[in-house]
Amino acid sequence: MSLPLEGLSAIVTGAGRGLGRAEALELARLGASVVVNDYGQAGRDGSGEASAAPAEAVAAEIREAGGQAVAHLGDVSDFESARGLVDLAIGTYGKLDILVNNAGILRDRMVFSMSEAEWDSVIRVHLKGHFNTTHFASVHWRERSKAAGGRPVYGRVVNTSSEAFLAGSAGQPNYAAAKGGIVGLTTSTAAALAKYGVTANAICPRARTRMTEDVFAGFAEPADGQLDPLAPEHVAPLVGYLASPSAAGVNGQLLVVHGGMVAVVERPRVAAKFDSAKDTFSYEELDGLLSAYYASRPPNETFASTEVLGLRRA
């Protein structure tokens, strides 16, 4: 019996540790040949010297288990490095079928304390990094479709957003903004590439990793022999599914995943609509309509979806 991803090739960015590592191992377990990308810096804030060791170790782990994998040392926020990453997959495996964008850094601070550099670096690695790899992957898929006479090809993009975007994490304005931007990039990509046979979806994972060690410091570690409810291994199967032929009908979606639970996030809906009495609104008319409307709503209710933080496996 063939494996669901047999004959397919994949890139996983930021795959030297944590979530990316678990995702790369899962794709390989399902039969994909994997390019393991990681810039290998020691600090979760993107500090330290680049190192090929983390990516090489995961690639070696895949090969030792009988799979196919090569390592790529590269910064996905660099346009040419992202081009090289996609070219490596195509050159090694003949084509690229799956792109999992996971690479990221954290530089947390309240908005009134955040520096320009702290803002720019997080936006660059997360949001620009997702765009860079997606750009070159989409060029490849479009060219393959053209070469096939316009017929659809196989392509899957799985992007990594965050509950920080959904809930509005107060100490992470850069991270929340980047993760919100990734959702916009995902839905745009889904619409643009559907005719080529490509799907694009985003996940909001919750996992105990090097990046989140302080966030989940108060959550108890599991007893010996038990799987941590916050283990990255809870997230990886969803990535494997979204990368598979079975998920051909899943496109432009946002899913929250952690601890044995997957939640499909509904798109925003219009809560209320107001029309001007004349051609346009006046201040007084808006004051009368909107002030009365918001006075009747809970005072702390915003666009942020804080209830997602309470999601748990039943």
Please list the active-site residues. 162, 175, 179
DSSP string, 117-184: HHHHHHHIIIIIHHHHHHHHHHHHHHHHHHHTTT----EEEEEE--HHHHHT-TT-HHHHHHHHHHHH
Those residues whose C-beta lies under 8 Å from the C-beta of residue 91, and which sit 6 or more positions away, are none
Long-range contacts of 76-81 (CB under 8 A, 24+ apart): 76/13, 76/14, 76/37, 76/39, 76/101, 76/103, 76/125, 76/129, 76/130, 76/132, 76/133, 77/124, 77/125, 77/128, 77/129, 77/132, 78/132, 79/132, 81/132
CA-wise closest residue to 277 among 289, 294, 264: 289
Those residues whose C-beta lies under 8 Å from the C-beta of residue 295, and which sit 6 or more positions away, are none
Q: Tell me the C-alpha to C-alpha distance, in Å, between residue 104 and each of 63, 76, 178, 179.
A: 25, 9, 10, 10
Q: Please state whether beta strands 261-264 and 254-258 pair in parallel, antiparallel, or not at all (unpaired).
A: antiparallel
